[in-house]
Structures are given as structure tokens and as C-alpha cells.
């Protein structure tokens, strides 16, 4: 069995290619890294990697995470500038016993030491957007106003399983602000015995529910990926509602060792890409439509 799943329509091309890598015997780590790099390198995807969304001061600052579910080791970096492919940095850090979660300057130094390509991640388009919006920063920054994380979960034919994330985080975030994406257990988690999960949306809310760990933990107790995603998200949303808050803007994906995938969202619609022996394509769930269903790219034309 092999299977790969990624958040949003933007992951589809990379997921398709990564599924072929897995079919040909490639490793889950290589497949997930490949799928994420395809999004990071494309400036048309304005919320991840090159051409990402700048912070309040006009810097493109990225967060990333990677977990190897067979060794339970992780690597992650936060508040990183000028690293061309943050996911490669997270993966390189994964495997270390210590110093595997690095921030800012230290993370950038590690990238140089690893020989990873560095580049100015700002594009004319993203700086134009920053110029246009910087004067009217809303008091409450919201998820999904043009920013989304790419999260990928992969299972290979040898039973290896990984999770990876990469994002430029909230548009116009405070300098130094970090979301869930590099935080193990919140933005991503993977235990090859039970499954993998990852989240996209408002990191401040995702972290309050330690959502990815919660989903894997529900799978450990027997839930399917779809059930685990639904239950974890329903619980966090209901707690927020009890506290007089809104349900939040969060979407999650999951994968189990049998190659079954699942997703859940608080949005009207959340598209994700999946690829395995059955082929690769887009699916979607909605807050009132919890069962994943196949969708076409044309139907999802408004979605990232």
C-alpha cells in the first residue's frame, strides 16, 4: 500500500507526482518533500515559500515542520527568512536528538551549514500586496484571507510514514509571530503505528487544541481518519463556542497505516489532494458535508 494526501488544490500537481514516486518504490519522506517543494517554489501560491505573504514589516518569514512516524523524530524551524525550501530544512533537522526545533537566525545558519539554497523570498507581487494592505492592518487577523499552509502526509510501500508542513503564516503578522505549523502535535504529528495528521487555518486556535496529536490519538483508539478529524475538530469548535467564541477557521487532514485518508473543516468547503494506487485527484469536505467526495479542479476554481 502507498498513499499521500495534501491540503488545498495547490498541492494537487505535487501530490500527483509524489504518488508516482511512491508507486515506483520511493520513500514517504522523499514523496512528501517533493510535493511540498512544488508548492514552495511556485510564486503563484502566495501563502507558502517563494512569494509568500509578508509580515507587518514586509518580510517573508516562514515556518515548517517534518515528522518521521517510524522513529517518532521531528524537525522544525520557525521565523525563517531566505531559506528557499523550508521543508528541506525541517527534514534535515529531523533525526537529531537535540536542537531539532530552531528559530530565526539559528535556523538560517543551520540551512547554510546543510548547504541548502538561500534566496530572497520576496517577489514583486507579494511586496505590491504588502504595500497595498499594510496601512489597513485589521485588528483581528483571520485565517484564509489569502494564506494557507501546505501540509502533506505520506505512507510508502515499506510502511514508512511522515508528515510535513510549510507556510509563510498569517499575512501582516507581528514580527516574530509563530503559528502551529512548526509546532509538533499542533500543526503536524505522525506515528507510523497509528497514523498522521496535520492542520491548516488559524494557528493560534489550532494550538489551543493540540489538534494533530489529538487526531492521531483518536486513530490510536480505533477511529478512522475521517472520524478522528471530525471528532477532534468538533470538540475544539464546541469548546470555543461554549467560551462565547466562533467555531474558528480550521481544516485538518489525516492518514492511517492502511492508507485510508480523511479530512474535516469548519469552512463551507475544504479541498485536498490525495494520491494512491487508485490514482490521484481532488476531494473536498465541508462543515456540513463531512464525508470526503471527489471534486474537479474547475469546481474548486475559487479555492487556493
Among 7, 98, 113, 149, the active-site one is: 149
Selected binder of ligand SD4 within 85, 167, 226, 265 (CB under 6 A): 167
Helix (H) and strand (E) counts in the chain: 8, 13
Angstrom distance (rounded) from CA 285 to CA 233: 13
**Nearest distance in Å: CB 25, ligand SD4:** 32
Selected binder of ligand SD4 within 202, 263, 267, 280 (CB under 6 A): 202
**Other beta carbons within 10 Å of 58:** 14
**Other beta carbons within 10 Å of 254:** 32
169 near ligand SD4 (CB under 6 A)? yes
274 near ligand SD4 (CB under 6 A)? no
**Grid cell digits, residue 93:** 533537522
Helix locations, 114-246, DSSP H: 124-133, 203-208, 211-220, 225-242
Cβ atoms of 41 and 11 closer than 8 Å: no
**Other beta carbons within 10 Å of 281:** 16
**Other beta carbons within 10 Å of 207:** 17
Distances, alpha carbon 128 to alpha carbons 1, 58, 167, in Å: 45, 10, 19
143 near ligand SD4 (CB under 6 A)? yes
- Which span (53-61, 74-82, 200-208, 213-221) binds ligand SD4, by CB under 6 A? 200-208
Selected binder of ligand SD4 within 55, 108, 148, 214 (CB under 6 A): 148
What residues form DSSP beta bridges with 276?
Answer: 279
75 near ligand SD4 (CB under 6 A)? no
40 near ligand SD4 (CB under 6 A)? no
**Nearest distance in Å: CB 185, ligand SD4:** 14
Distances, alpha carbon 293 to alpha carbons 64, 137, 269, 273, 296, in Å: 29, 37, 11, 11, 10
**Nearest distance in Å: CB 32, ligand SD4:** 17
**Nearest distance in Å: CB 180, ligand SD4:** 5
Count residues contacting ligand SD4 (CB under 6 A)? 15
**Grid cell digits, residue 59:** 518580510
190 near ligand SD4 (CB under 6 A)? no
- Which span (9-17, 75-83, 105-113, 174-182) binds ligand SD4, by CB under 6 A? 174-182
In degrees rounded to 5, what are phi and psi of residue 114? Answer: -75, -10
What residues form DSSP beta bridges with 4?
Answer: 154, 275
Is residue 149 annotated as a catalytic residue, yes or no? yes
**Nearest distance in Å: CB 173, ligand SD4:** 7
201 near ligand SD4 (CB under 6 A)? yes
**Nearest distance in Å: CB 166, ligand SD4:** 10
Quick one: DSSP state of residue 94?
B
**Grid cell digits, residue 64:** 515548517
Selected binder of ligand SD4 within 9, 92, 147, 160 (CB under 6 A): 147
Query: Measured over all CA atoms, what is the biggest interatomic distance in the chain, rounded to whole angstroms?
Result: 52
180 near ligand SD4 (CB under 6 A)? yes
- Which span (107-115, 178-186, 260-268, 293-301) binds ligand SD4, by CB under 6 A? 178-186
**Nearest distance in Å: CB 251, ligand SD4:** 8
144 near ligand SD4 (CB under 6 A)? yes
Angstrom distance (rounded) from CA 293 to CA 139: 36
Q: Which residues bind ligand SD4 (CB under 6 A)?
A: 143-144, 147-149, 167, 169-170, 179-181, 200-203
Catalytic residues: 149
Amino acid at each position: 500500500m502507498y498513499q499521500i494526501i495534501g491540503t488545498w488544490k495547490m498541492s494537487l500537481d505535487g501530490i500527483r507526482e509524489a504518488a508516482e514516486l511512491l508507486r515506483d518504490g520511493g520513500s514517504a519522506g522523499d514523496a512528501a518533500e517533493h510535493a511540498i517543494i512544488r508548492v514552495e517554489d511556485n510564486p503563484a501560491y502566495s501563502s507558502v515559500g517563494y512569494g509568500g505573504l509578508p509580515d507587518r514589516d514586509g518580510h517573508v518569514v516562514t515556518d515548517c515542520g517534518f515528522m518521521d512516524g517510524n522513529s517518532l523524530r521531528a524537525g522544525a524551524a520557525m521565523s525563517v527568512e531566505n531559506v528557499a525550501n523550508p521543508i528541506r530544512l525541517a527534514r534535515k533537522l529531523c533525526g537529531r536528538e537535540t536542537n531539532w526545533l530552531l528559530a530565526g537566525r539559528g535556523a538560517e545558519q543551520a540551512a547554510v551549514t546543510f548547504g541548502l539554497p538561500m534566496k530572497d523570498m520576496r517577489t514583486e507581487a507579494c511586496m505590491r500586496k504588502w504595500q497595498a494592505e499594510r496601512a489597513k492592518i485589521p485588528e483581528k487577523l483571520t485565517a484564509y484571507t489569502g494564506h494557507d499552509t501546505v501540509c502533506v502526509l505520506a505512507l510508502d510501500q515499506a510502511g514508512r510514514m511522515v508528515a510535513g508542513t510549510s507556510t509563510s503564516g498569517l499575512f501582516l503578522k507581528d514580527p516574530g509571530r509563530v503559528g502551529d505549523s512548526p509546532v509538533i502535535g499542533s500543526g503536524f504529528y505522525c506515528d507510523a503505528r497509528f497514523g498522521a495528521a496535520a492542520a491548516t487555518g488559524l494557528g493560534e486556535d489550532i494550538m489551543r487544541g493540540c489538534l494533530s496529536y489529538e487526531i492521531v490519538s483518536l486513530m490510536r483508539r480505533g477511529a478512522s481518519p475521517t472520524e478522528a478529524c471530525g471528532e477532534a475538530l468538533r470538540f475544539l469548535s464546541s469548546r470555543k463556542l461554549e467560551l462565547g467564541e466562533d467555531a474558528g477557521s480550521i481544516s485538518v487532514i489525516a492518514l492511517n497505516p492502511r492508507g485510508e485518508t480523511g479530512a474535516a473543516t469548519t469552512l463551507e468547503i475544504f479541498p485536498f489532494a490525495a494520491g494512491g494506487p487508485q490514482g490521484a485527484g481532488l476531494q473536498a469536505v465541508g462543515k456540513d458535508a463531512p464525508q470526503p467526495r471527489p471534486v474537479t479542479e474547475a469546481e474548486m476554481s475559487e479555492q487556493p
